[in-house]
Structure 1
Amino acid sequence: MSKRDRRRELPPVPEALPVPAVDAHTHLDACGAKTADEVRAVVDRAEAAGIGRVVTVADDIASAQWAVEAAGWDERVYAAVALHPTRTKDFDDADRAVLERLVEQPRVVAVGETGLDYYWDYSPPGPQQEAFRWHIDLAKRSGKALMIHDREAHDDILRILAEEGAPETVVFHCFSGDAEFARACVDAGHVLSFAGTATFRNARALREAAKLVPPDQMLVETDAPFLTPHPFRGQPNEPYCVNYTLRDLAELRGMSLEELVVATTATAERVFHLDQA
């Protein structure tokens, strides 16, 4: 098989984890799962690898509506709804009204992904920050976790959280900071979610951060179809691949695989109130 063909192929489904895990952040629609049958097929593959539940996350209004619908197709699927920071330039009252309605649905477990993204220039910082503040308020009013997208915006994220007053539960999705920023987040009581990027061998600062996070403030995710973990970096990603990330992080942290899976699953259940959704 050529290198080009391999990059189009899903990684093999690994041996199942010793106990069930949760993929705390994925995009099932972007994985190509548009229908109920396609969603079940993706989640079946995940369950075969020991990933028993997934949170599918919206980045625009249409995907928010779809995520809520998909969470009703399969009891292993939960939803998070928000407008991605790169799409906030034209965020209006109609969008807010839709999100206000969707967040009240019982299968919605988080407001996300929201936050700031200074890497792309699709939306200026002003509208991003205004939308972020609105989503913070929505999370507090709904009592659901705030799921943050933070790309090259660490200082402003923490500043705005302090100014607005952080919700009870804040999750830094696909945590991208170093050990110093991780300590600041942990000290503030926030939860850090690690994706396949934490397994990349050149991500030294991120891997140092992953070592120090207490297990009860740690989640694992795929952010599928992006960020496929080592050694399959560059290939398509699906929720079952969180299995690989857990194995790598357990070794990195000097923990048994079962110990880390149990801890991160307990964190997911607490953060997202999965027993109530």
Structure 2
Amino acid sequence: MPEPLPVPVVDAHTHLDACGATTPALVAEMLDRANAAGVSRVITVADDMAAARWAAEASTWDSRVFAAVAVHPTRTAQFGESEKAELEKLAQGSRVVAIGETGLDYYWDYSPPEAQKAAFRWHIELSKRVGKPLMIHDRDAHDDILQILDEEGAPSTVVFHCFSGDAEFARKCVERGFVLSFAGPVTFRNARALREAAQLVPQDQLLVETDAPFLTPHPYRGRPNEPYCVAYTVRDLATLRCEDVNELSSAVTRNAQRVFDLGDSNGE
């Protein structure tokens, strides 16, 4: 376990079900471990319809858990009216705090680009309709993501989950008022372009996440990830940005509370 953070932070993007925490008892155990490291709350994120149903339900099991619902771009080849109707209903849940993860993924070829784009545009509209932040998955699709957001009109709050761009792309996002969330890869010493991007993001547009069970931060890269590991990322980011850990922890907590409307540090 890492040294506890001085100020509790929020893991802004995780997949508790994929981490194996599939029951109320297992969720509580995982959140207890996170709490011991100074990670007080998490947003568990859906990538398909089954995960969306589960995330919405799991967010009612424990006050430390919130949910985001959407269909991942790689799963949009079959994305019809029934899925849209159900997602819109799930999105109304009081513990559902974001529409995500949605966007574009040109690395995998599971869904055609046009199907991905159509689904992304629909999720943008849903985000605006329900008044909840848009949580973006962007893999090898920077330019098209920005073009669609510009064409559709971005929601009032946009979060780039697991930001993967360089400094130039970060500037474009920051200028548009978007929030950038950094996961384990920002701690990788060979991720030079990403680490340069992380240094220029204004403190009030910064979030941290695990994307667990994937992308475990240095020095445990390649091992299973879970929410407590976000503490490693926060400390590494503080060193990288030449900021005090206490100050950075406080900032990312305030940002998460504001972005996702989480209430105070106790989730009330």
* 2:23 matches 1:35: yes
- 1:73-117 CA-to-partner distances (Å, cap 9, x unmatched) read 000000000000000000011100110000000000000000000
Q: Distance in 2 between matches of 1:155 and 1:185?
A: 11
Match of 2:243 in 1: 255
- Report the TM-score when normalising by structure 2: 0.98
Match of 2:218 in 1: 230
Q: Distance in 1 between matches of 2:2 and 2:142?
A: 34
Q: Distance in 2 between matches of 1:270 and 1:98?
A: 27
Q: Distance in 2 between matches of 1:60 and 1:225?
A: 16
Q: Give secondary structure in 2 for the equivalent of 1:120.
A: coil
Match of 1:165 in 2: 153
Alignment equivalent of 1:177, drawn from 147, 161, 165: 165
Q: Which runs of 4+ in 1 moved over 3 A?
A: none
How many Å apart are 1:15 and its aligned residue? 1.5
Q: Distance in 2 between matches of 1:251 and 1:266?
A: 20
Match of 1:245 in 2: 233
Q: Distance in 2 between matches of 1:255 and 1:185?
A: 22
* 2:67 matches 1:79: yes
Q: Distance in 2 between matches of 1:71 and 1:90?
A: 26
AA partner of residue 120 (structure 2):
F
Match of 1:208 in 2: 196
Match of 1:96 in 2: 84
Match of 2:111 in 1: 123
Match of 1:140 in 2: 128
Q: Give secondary structure in 2 for the equivalent of 1:46.
A: helix
Q: Distance in 1 between matches of 2:7 and 2:88?
A: 36
Match of 1:219 in 2: 207
Match of 1:189 in 2: 177
How many Å apart are 1:274 and its aligned residue? 0.5
AA partner of residue 67 (structure 2):
A
Q: Distance in 1 between matches of 2:227 and 2:261?
A: 20
- 1:112-150 CA-to-partner distances (Å, cap 9, x unmatched) read 000000000000100000000000000000000000000
AA partner of residue 43 (structure 1):
L
Q: Distance in 2 between matches of 1:182 and 1:266?
A: 21
Q: Give secondary structure in 2 for the equivalent of 1:114.
A: strand
AA partner of residue 140 (structure 1):
K
For these two proteins, the number of residue pairs brought into alignment is 265
Which sections of structure 2, spanning at least 5 residues, go unmatched? Answer: none
Q: Distance in 2 between matches of 1:16 and 1:52?
A: 11
Alignment equivalent of 2:13, drawn from 5, 25, 44: 25
Q: Give secondary structure in 2 for the equivalent of 1:116.
A: strand
Q: Give secondary structure in 2 for the equivalent of 1:159.
A: helix
Alignment equivalent of 1:69, drawn from 57, 67, 71: 57
Q: Distance in 1 between matches of 2:189 and 2:208?
A: 17
AA partner of residue 4 (structure 2):
A
- Report the TM-score when normalising by structure 1: 0.95
Q: Distance in 2 between matches of 1:45 and 1:225?
A: 14
- 1:125-180 CA-to-partner distances (Å, cap 9, x unmatched) read 00000000000000000000000000000000000000000000000000000000
* 2:98 matches 1:110: yes
Q: Distance in 1 between matches of 2:130 and 2:83?
A: 17
AA partner of residue 18 (structure 1):
P
* 2:45 matches 1:57: yes
